[in-house]
Structure 1
Amino acid sequence: MQNLPVPDQHFSALKQAAYQLSTCTDQIFQQIEQAEVLNGIIDRIRSSLDLEEIFNTTAIEIRQLLNVDRVGVLRFFPDNEVNKSKFVAEDVAAGFPSALAAQAYDSCFISQFAAHHTQSTVQAVADIYTAEFSDCHIKLLEQFQVRAKLIVPVLKGTELWGFLCVHQCSGPRRWQLSEIEFVRKIANHFAIALQQAEQLEQITNQTALLAETKAQTKALLYQKTLVKITNRIRQSFDFAAICQIACDEVRQLLTADRVSIYRFNSDWSGNFLFESVAEDWKPLVGVSPTIEDTHLMETQGGRYAKNETFAVPDIYEAGHSDCHIALLEEFQARAYAIAPIFDGERLWGLLTTFQNAAPRQWQADEIELLAQIGEQLGIALQQADFVRQIQAQATELKETLEELQQSQIQLIQNEKMASLGQLVAGVAHEINNPVNFIHGNIGHVKGYAQDLLTLVRLYQQLDPTSETDLKALRQHIEALDIDFILEDFPKTIASMEVGTDRIKQIVLSLRNFSRLDEALVKVVDLHEGIDSTLLILGHRLKTCSDITIEVIKNYGELPQIESYPAQLNQVFMNLVANSLDAIEEAISCGKLGNSDQPSPTLWITTQPYDSDQVEIRIRDNGIGLAPDTATKIFDHFFTTKPVSKGTGLGLAISRQIVVEKHRGSLVCTPNPDQGVEFTMRLPCKLPIDS
């Protein structure tokens, strides 16, 4: 068959039609391929909640489908002053720099186009050098070799979230309408993915918050239980009550079938002492015999001796020996959790929690709660031991205190007897002289009286008319030496009267000193008490070596003061007696009394101190005191005197009387070479609470 030539115009039309058909076919295939990619992205968004995975996979598929050099997801941060945008996903062809790795900030683009893109405007640039870009923006695009770009905004609701960026780096490119629409659709679906992610984040946050709230509520309940047990331990010393409360609280809180406290014996067998058990389960306390767990007995407490807790969800899945399972079956236990209880460093027992009805997966916070309560029970155990020790010590201290009180009473009685001895000795010495004088003259007075009475009887029997009777009377008178009797008898009577006055004065001073016939509190003249003291101790003013101690009294004009006079006189007695002791010791040491040495002297000075106080100073030039000794002079049982010469209570009692009873002060000013001065200050009016 002969081929007829085709006219050129027909061939050209046919060629053009074929080209159009090919282009149309390519577009159809491209649209089909875009639709498949878009559907895949939509399915991925629906099935996955991982934004990073969605962004990265989509970037890869867009770059391959559109045959571009770079596809990236740029996120916009309008509130960030440092970096307002950054790439969060990218796929870039080999040979071109990564914008994701560089994380460059395009301030020019953000300031010029961000607000414009919030209106969902797409930016399609075929060539950056023909677009009206600023120099700084072009410079940044050149850094990443961008020649053409397609920028589609990604909105989150009405807010600009970021941009889907498509870059052509190898040269200019005119973007097809279908390509722009394809990228815009993907950006729209990104918005859906963002909303899903936000919803997921909210749900996740709410779930986490709910879980955290439940955990906090649970932790709060655990803490309240722990605090309740701790407070009970602080408030009560009853260990049994504390243990029972702990069992009840833990069982209720953990909804367990049994919580018990197990105590080890010396051979590491044991017994249940306390428990809280639900209904329908047999009790173990007081019913079960002594438990002999061979493992615990052989290992002396096993892991619990190392302060370890142990929890078993199911005894039949824990690998226990048959004998151990049999023992647990006697306890009706299917699952258990155990915490040790220590008494100091010694394992005392176990806090056991049993789940009997079914297996149980124990939570970490439940085991921690058991461990903490076990620690608190250990504290309660130590506290109970301390209480028993304290009670025993208290009993011992009470007995010791009673013994000390008896000893103190005896010592005070001895001090009183010593003071009384000084008082009696002084009184006896002062009374002795006048009594001896009176006693020595009684015989003379008796003889004088007898002679005079005899003379009177003779005179009564005299016959005035009888010369014989008159002669006998004259002879009797001559024999009596009547002139001497008449002269000596009145003198003797007068001397005896002086002696009785002295005795009367001493008795009056003794009464003033003791104040036994007066009320406890009385307004008195202190000088009377001081003078009475000096009178009673007058015998000590002349020592055994016939050296007289001089007393210099410098009395001021003192008002009468409210006081306990008998007690103050006791203070005067103690202070003066101590000064006399110091002077006598200085005389015996040869420091006083010789011709070339000072005379032994006692100074007593009184004066008003202020408007409502008086001051009494008693100073001697005796042996003196060292300063360190003077600080102890008022301590109970402290004395500088030899054994059996002093009790160490006189000055302590004196200070107690002055300070505590009269609200005054008593101080000692020592001088090792010139004796000691005691200064006492007393209020003129006693405080109401004295």
Structure 2
Amino acid sequence: MIRTGLNVDKDTLKALFDDSDELLVIIDKNKNIVYLNRKASSLFQNSFQLSDVEHLFSFDICILNSENIMVYNPIQEALLAREVMKAEVLFQAGENEYRKYLLKSFKNDENTVIILSETPSQTENRTEKPTNDSARKLAVRTGLINRISTSIRQSLELNRIIEIALEEISTSLGIDKGYFAEYQQQKEKLTLKNNWNMPEVQDLNNDSGIKQAISEQRSVVSMIMTDMDSNRIQPRLVTPVIYKDKIQGILAFYHVNNTRTWHEEEISLIEGLASQLAVAINQAEMLETAIKQKRELEQTLLKLKETQAQLIQSEKMASLGQLVAGVAHEINTPLGSINSNNGILAKCIGKISKELEDSDILDIFNEAISTNTEAIRRINELVKSLKNFARLDEAEYQETDIHEGIKSTLLLINHEIKDRVEVIE
């Protein structure tokens, strides 16, 4: 039987493989079966739905020449393998009937070709799966956990870690849909963070299955209606993500396109991966906290530097104030004496002016006194301007006359600007 999708002439395929003693299956990159020869069609009961038959296959002894042990399913392993894969597999033909095949697979860009060859003891009656089944499951479980753990630890960005985990788990286990919801411990509230093929998620906080998984801190399988129009009910697995007894969130996965239920091996595997995810989430949160603290410290350091600069400036102004106070005191003391003596001299000249007949001498004395008086006035203004500039005698904040401040400043720098700048008042 042949379906469209394979870029090979149908007649050629029939001529080469239809009557072959080996079973030939060709699957495209969308996991659609595009070709079955007669023997494969008989084994698959003419079904072209991969989900109808893949769960009937299991590994018998071990995987040969396969670098990545990803899932406990040889068909999925063949689809995921990068190179040629060989494995001894079992096909469950009945309740206690297993058929043994040698599986070989190879692929090109578009398709995976699987060849199943009969072994000498093809059919076996067993009441249970092979005795080394537990060892194989452990190997597969360990391989998948290591692979996904490596993938999620390649990133320290929280959303990317969760995105990788959802994608890897869903792809490796053939899960149709899933999502991760973050749990806020204080509010006891879930918030959807990431999803896998989930166009819409119902109210998380009123879901009885989710509430049970959180309260009991264990995985819960419940039946959920996934299609309102057809009333289709499918099994959903909810697994809490827990780190040191603290629930960080939940993982929820659905089998939508497959009617099978959740197996204990799958639940145990996802619980193990949830533990790895919890560690990765905790590390990412610690990194985010460290980055936030680093930014806060940088802001604090910047403020400290600004405060330090202000303190240095304040110290400079305080030192300047002390210097100005000392200079003003040193100037005012002799200036007071000069001013006093100038007044005494003026009085004396006034008394003897009547006795002096030479008016020129009086004019010289009067001019000298006038010059001294003007010099004293200018020195007083200069000292006052210095004190005003440094604000030594005033409060830290108060109303002031800006014009007076400008005049005081201009007076202090007058010797530098008098020949170059014209000040218009």
Structure that is richer in strand per residue: 2
* Structure with the larger RCO, 1 or 2 (CA within 8 Å, 6+ apart): 2
What is the TM-score normalised by the length of structure 2?
A: 0.40
Length-normalised TM-score, structure 1: 0.27
